Structure 1
Amino acid sequence: MAQDGLNINEVRLGGIVIQVDAVRRTPAGLPVHGFVLDHQSELREAGMKRRASCRIRVVAIGLPVAEIALIDTGAGLLVSGFIARDRSERENRLILHARQIEAAASEIF
Structure 2
Amino acid sequence: MSCNQVELEGVIIERESLRYTPAGIPIIGFGLSHQSQQNEAGMARTVKCVLAAIALGDIAVQVDRLRDDRVVHLSGFLAMKNLKSSQLVLHVTRIEYSQTR
Aligned residue number for residue 32 of structure 1: 27
Matched-pair contact (CA < 8 Å) for 2:37–2:46: yes
CA distance in 2, matches of 1:69, 1:24: 10
CA distance in 1, matches of 2:54, 2:2: 21
Aligned-residue identity in percent: 34
CA offsets per residue over residues 55-90 of structure 1, 9 Å max, x none? 1111110125884365331111111110100017x4
The answer to whether structure 1 residue 11 and structure 2 residue 1 are counterparts is no
Matches within 5 A, 1:1-109: 6-64=1-59, 67-68=62-63, 71-87=66-82, 90-107=84-101
| Bigger Rg, structure 1 or 2 | 1
Matched-pair contact (CA < 8 Å) for 2:7–2:74: yes
CA distance in 2, matches of 1:53, 1:30: 32
Amino acid paired to 2:42: G
RMSD (CA atoms): 2.0
Query: What is the TM-score of this pair, normalised by structure 1?
Result: 0.81
Matched-pair contact (CA < 8 Å) for 1:67–1:102: no
- Cα gap change, 1:65/1:81 in structure 2, threshold over 3 Å: closer, same or farther? closer
Query: What is the TM-score of this pair, normalised by structure 2?
Result: 0.86
Identify unmatched segments of 5+ residues in structure 2: none
CA distance in 1, matches of 2:33, 2:94: 17
